[in-house]
Amino acid sequence: MQQIKNFINGEFVDGIEGKTFDKYSPVDNNLIARISEAGKSDVDAAVRAAHAARRGAWGALTTDQRVDLLYGVADEITRRFEDFVAAEMADTGQPRHVMTQVFIPRGAANFKVFADIIKNVPTESFQMPTPDGRGALNYGIRVPKGVIGVISPWNAPFLLMTWKVGPALACGNTVVVKPSEETPLTCTLLGEVMNSVGIPKGVFNVIHGFGPASAGEYLTHHPLVDAITFTGETRTGTAIMKAAAEGMRDVSFELGGKNAGIVFADADFDAAVEGISRSSFLNSGQVCLGTERVYVERPIFERFVQALKAKAEGVKFGRPEDHHSNYGPLISAEHKQKVLSYYAKAAAEGATIITGGGVPEMPAELAAGHWVQPTIWTGLPETASVVREEVFGPCCHICPFDSEEQVINLANDNDYGLSTTIWTTNLARAHRVAARVEVGITWINSWFLRDLRTAFGGSKQSGIGREGGVHSLEFYTETRNICVKL
Ligand code: NAD
Ligand code: 6OD
C-alpha cells in the first residue's frame, strides 16, 4: 500500500493534524493507498509558498526560461510514462489503452502547447493622435494573475488537472492543486517531476483532501488565492463561486453536461454507431462530454438501436492491465450506487431496457469492484430523470425524431450546454444545426477530437468562461495597458 503525502514548497509532507483517508481500487475494492489529508494550516502553508514563489524565483524568470522548464516537465512526464500510466490505472481502474493513447500523452501536451502559445501570442498596441500632434503609443503587457487555486475531478484526473496547471504556469502564475480525493496518485507524481526538472520550490503545490470543511474549501476561501479554476459538478461550482465572491476572485468553471448526440438518416451508419458507442461508453461513461441523450432520425431508429446494443454487449470487463479487457469499473462504491439508482429510476419511469440496467457477473476476485453494465433505454418521455439529469455513467436514452427543427429543440431543451455530436453526410445541414445547438463544443462526424488551441467550455449550467489556446491566456493573465506620450 502506498503512503501519499501533500506536496508543499517542494517537499512531500504529512498534514500537520495527522489525519489520513484511504483510497480503494475501483477494480476489486482493495486498499491501495493511505493519503495524508491537508488541514487548514497545511493549505495556508501551500498558498503562502505559492505566493512567495510567484514574487520570488518564478517571477524572476523570463518567459523563455519558464517555457524551457515547462518543456522539461513535458519531457519528464514522457520519460516516466509508465509510472503515470500505472498510477492512473490504479486510481481509476480504466483500461491501459485509454491511459496510453489519451490521458497521459495529453498531460504532457498540456505543458508543451501552452508553453508554445505564451511565446507566440502577441499583445495589442494602438497609436493615438494627441492635440500637440506628437501622438501617443499604447501597448498591452500580460501579467500573471498570481496564485491560482486548481480544483479537479476524478474522471480523467491527469488530463484535467494538467489542462489547468500547464497554462497557469506558462503564464507565470503559481498553483495550489486540490485533486479529487478519489484520484490522488498522478497529481502527487507530478510533484516528483517538478522537482527533478528544477521547477522552483513553491511553484506547484498539491494538497489532498475533500471539499466541504476540508482542503477544497480551505483553498477556495484563502485570501491569497487570486483566481480559482475548477472542473466538477455544477452544484460544487455554485459553492466555489460563493467562496470566490469574497475578495472578488475570478473563476473559470468547467461543469456538468447532459449532452445530446444527433444522428441523421443520411449519416455514415457504421461510423455513427461507433462514434455514439464511444461517446456513451468510453471511460465507463464518466466523461463530461459524453452522450447520454441520443436522437436518431426515424427511418434508421430501430436499426441504430440494435447496432448500439451489439456494441454495448460486446464490451469486455476486466482489469486495466489485462489485454483482453477493454472496459473498466466506475470510480467508487458511492458513484456506483448513484448510477444504479438512476438505472432503477429509469425502469420505474417506464423505460424499455434495450440492454444492461444492472451489474455484470464478475469473477470472484473482481466481484467487490464497482462494475455496472452499459445500458440503453428507449421509450421514455423527455421529462424522465435519466433524460434530464447527468448520470455520469455508461448509459443513454435513444429517442426517434422526424425533422431538423424538432431535433434542435429536443437537444436544446436542457439546463446544461456542454457538447453535442452530430452525425450526417449533409454538410450544409451539419453547419446549420451546429450553429443552433446551445453548447460550447460541437463535433460533426466525430467526438472528443481535441485541438488544444480551440475554445473549450460550457454554455448554460455547464460552465463559465473558456479555456484552450488564447482563451487560457485570457483567464490566467491580466492585460495591463501602458500609454507612452511620444
Ligand atoms: P465534484 O464537483 O464532486 O468534485 C470536483 C472537485 O471539487 C473534487 O476535487 C472535490 O473534492 C472538490 N470539491 C467538492 N466540493 C467542494 C467545495 N465545496 N469546495 C471546494 N472544492 C470542492 O465532481 P466530481 O464528482 O469529481 O466530477 C464529476 C463531475 O465533473 C461531473 O459533473 C462532470 O460532468 C464534471 N466534469 C466536467 C468537465 C468539463 O470540462 N466541463 C470535465 C470533467 C468533469
Ligand atoms: O480535452 C479537454 O481539454 C477536456 N477538458 C476534456 C474534458 C473531459 C471531461 O471529462
Question: Residue 237 CA: which ligand 1 atom is closest?
Answer: 2
Alpha helices in 293-448 (DSSP H): 301-313, 333-348, 385-388, 404-412, 427-436
- Domain map (residue ranges) of the chain: 2-255+462-485, 259-451
DSSP 3-state helix, strand, coil percentages of the chain (rounded to 5)? 40, 25, 35
Predicted confidence band of residue 451 (pLDDT cuts 50, 70, 90): very high
Q: Which of 127, 121, 154, 155 is nearest to 139 (CA)?
A: 127
169 vs 443: CA distance, rounded Å: 29
Query: What is the number of helices (H) and of strands (E) in the chain?
Result: 16, 23
Q: Which of 330, 341, 320, 326 is nearest to 373 (CA)?
A: 330
User: For ligand 1, atom 9, which residue shows the shortest CA distance?
Assistant: 180
Distance 412 CA to ligand 2 centre (A): 21
User: For ligand 2, atom 5, which residue shows the shortest CA distance?
Assistant: 160
346 vs 372: CA distance, rounded Å: 15
Entry field: residues in the chain: 486
Question: Residue 286 CA: which ligand 2 atom is closest?
Answer: 10
Distance 160 CA to ligand 2 centre (A): 6
What is the share, in percent, of the chain residues with pLDDT greater than 90? 100
Give the list of residues 6+ apart from residue 28 with CB closer than 8 angstroms, or none.
Answer: 365, 366, 368, 369
For a pocket test of ligand 1, which of 43, 91, 251, 288 has the largest count of ligand atoms closer than 8 A to its C-beta?
Answer: 288
Residues 167, 201, 223, 248, Cα dihedral to 10°: -20
Do 228 and 221 contact (CB within 8 A), yes or no?
no
Region 156-184: mean pLDDT is 98
* pLDDT score for 400: 98
Strands 125-128 and 6-8: unpaired
Predicted confidence band of residue 60 (pLDDT cuts 50, 70, 90): very high
455-472: per-residue pLDDT in tens?
A: 999 999 999 999 999 999
Strands 416-417 and 459-460: antiparallel
Predicted confidence band of residue 52 (pLDDT cuts 50, 70, 90): very high
320-376: per-residue pLDDT in tens?
A: 999 999 999 999 999 999 999 999 999 999 999 999 999 999 999 999 999 999 999
- The third-level CATH classification (topology) of the domain covering 259-451 is Aldehyde Dehydrogenase; Chain A, domain 2 (3.40.309)
Query: What ligand is nearest to the CA atom of residue 292?
Result: 1
315 vs 326: CA distance, rounded Å: 6
For a pocket test of ligand 1, which of 231, 235, 246, 330 has the largest count of ligand atoms closer than 8 A to its C-beta?
Answer: 231
Q: Which of 133, 114, 419 is nearest to 290 (CA)?
A: 419
Residue labelled with grid coordinates 486495466: 320
Please tell me if the CB atom of residue 160 comes closer than 6 angstroms to any atom of ligand 2: yes
DSSP letter for 259, please. Answer: E
Would you list the DSSP string of 4-53?
Answer: E-EEETTEEE--TT--EEEEE-TTT--EEEEEEPP-HHHHHHHHHHHHHH
Q: Is 132 exposed, middle or buried (0-12, 13-18, 19+ CB in 10 A)?
A: exposed
Q: CA 152 → CA 71, 92, 449, distances in Å?
A: 23, 14, 21
* pLDDT score for 342: 98
Do 252 and 464 contact (CB within 8 A), yes or no?
yes
Please tell me if the CB atom of residue 288 comes closer than 6 angstroms to any atom of ligand 2: yes
Predicted confidence band of residue 169 (pLDDT cuts 50, 70, 90): very high
439 vs 462: CA distance, rounded Å: 8
Superfamily of domain 2-255+462-485: Aldehyde Dehydrogenase; Chain A, domain 1 (3.40.605.10)
For a pocket test of ligand 1, which of 161, 233, 234, 391 has the largest count of ligand atoms closer than 8 A to its C-beta?
Answer: 233
Helix (H) or strand (E) holding 206: strand 204-206
Distance 330 CA to ligand 1 centre (A): 15
Query: What ligand is nearest to the CA atom of residue 285?
Result: 2
* pLDDT score for 40: 98
User: For ligand 2, atom 9, which residue shows the shortest CA distance?
Assistant: 288
Please tell me if the CB atom of residue 450 comes closer than 6 angstroms to any atom of ligand 2: yes
Region 31-38: mean pLDDT is 98
For a pocket test of ligand 2, which of 103, 150, 231 has the largest count of ligand atoms closer than 8 A to its C-beta?
Answer: 231
Do 252 and 229 contact (CB within 8 A), yes or no?
yes
Please tell me if the CB atom of residue 221 comes closer than 6 angstroms to any atom of ligand 2: no
Task: Specify the 3-state DSSP secondary structure of 139.
Answer: strand
Query: What ligand is nearest to the CA atom of residue 258?
Result: 1
375-412: per-residue pLDDT in tens?
A: 999 999 999 999 999 999 999 999 999 999 999 999 99
175 vs 163: CA distance, rounded Å: 13
**Mean pLDDT in the chain?**
98
Residues 6, 7, 11, 13, Cα dihedral to 10°: -10
98 vs 460: CA distance, rounded Å: 29
Please tell me if the CB atom of residue 453 comes closer than 6 angstroms to any atom of ligand 2: no
89 vs 312: CA distance, rounded Å: 22
Give the list of residues 6+ apart from residue 81 with CB closer than 8 angstroms, or none.
Answer: 100, 104
Predicted confidence band of residue 425 (pLDDT cuts 50, 70, 90): very high
Which residue numbers are catalytic?
254, 288
DSSP letter for 121, please. Answer: P
Instruction: Name residues contacting ligand 1 (CB within 6 A).
Output: 151-155, 160, 178, 180-181, 210-212, 216-217, 220, 231-233, 236, 239-240, 254-257, 288, 390, 392, 418, 458, 462-463
Region 90-104: mean pLDDT is 97
Query: What ligand is nearest to the CA atom of residue 105?
Result: 2
